[in-house]
């Protein structure tokens, strides 16, 4: 396990901070988000749950390094955010950019999608492109004619 910014905290093999103190208010907030999702989050979760798209396992409203993220795939350290109108404000867009920068710097991958794009085809294409850029297929690693 590697160390986090707070020396008393550690990261598991996938880099998620473990044994981190989570304020009860933040935990309650994440639970309330799970109980009352936005329409787009509910649609997205209906598609992602039970490995519904490309066999990827997602958790929803997960606390990752102190942030509540919409959807999280631990295997690929992928954070998936579904953004509504509130994310279009200058203040929220600035906060989102700082948060994404921090999470990216700590080894996570952040994908964002607008509420209107929360459908099976769009999610599948977005996640497929992400996976292709993360781990090229063996055929792609070889040159034309199969040379390495």
For residue 19, give the CATH number of its domain: 3.40.960.10
Integer distance in angstroms from the first to the last C-alpha of the chain? 34
> Which pLDDT value is given to residue 145?
45
What is the span of the domain harbouring residue 127? Answer: 10-135
pLDDT > 90 fraction of the chain, expressed in percent and rounded? 57
- CB 63 within 8 Å of CB 130: no
3-state secondary structure of 120: helix
Q: In this structure, how many other beta carbons lie within 10 angstroms of the beta carbon of residue 49?
A: 14
pLDDT band at 86 (very low <50, low <70, confident <90, very high): confident
The answer to whether residue 128 sits within a structural domain is yes
The answer to whether residue 147 sits within a structural domain is no
The answer to whether residue 5 sits within a structural domain is no
As given in the structure block, the two tokens for residue 73 are 């795939």
Q: What kind and span of H or E run contains 9?
A: none
Tokens 């989102």 correspond to what residue?
Answer: 96
As given in the structure block, the two tokens for residue 37 are 């999702």
The answer to whether residue 4 sits within a structural domain is no
Per-residue pLDDT tens digits for 27-84: 899 999 999 999 999 999 999 999 999 999 999 999 998 899 999 999 999 999 998 7
Task: Domain count for the chain, please give it.
Answer: 1
Of 58, 64, 61, 62, nearest to 99 by C-alpha is 64
């Amino acid at each position: 396990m590697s160390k986090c910014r707070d020396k008393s905290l550690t990261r598991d093999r996938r880099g998620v901070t473990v044994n981190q103190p989570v304020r009860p208010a933040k935990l309650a907030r994440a639970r309330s988000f799970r109980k009352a999702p936005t329409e787009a989050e509910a649609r997205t979760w209906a598609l992602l749950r039970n490995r519904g798209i490309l066999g990827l396992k997602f958790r929803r409203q997960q606390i990752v390094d102190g942030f509540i993220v919409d959807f999280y795939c631990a295997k690929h350290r992928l954070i998936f955010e579904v953004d509504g109108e509130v994310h279009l404000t200058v203040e929220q867009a600035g906060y989102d950019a700082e948060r994404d920068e921090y999470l990216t710097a700590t080894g996570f991958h952040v994908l964002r999608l607008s509420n209107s794009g929360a459908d099976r085809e769009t999610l599948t294409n977005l996640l497929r492109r992400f996976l292709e850029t993360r781990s090229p297929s063996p055929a792609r690693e070889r040159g034309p004619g199969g040379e390495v």
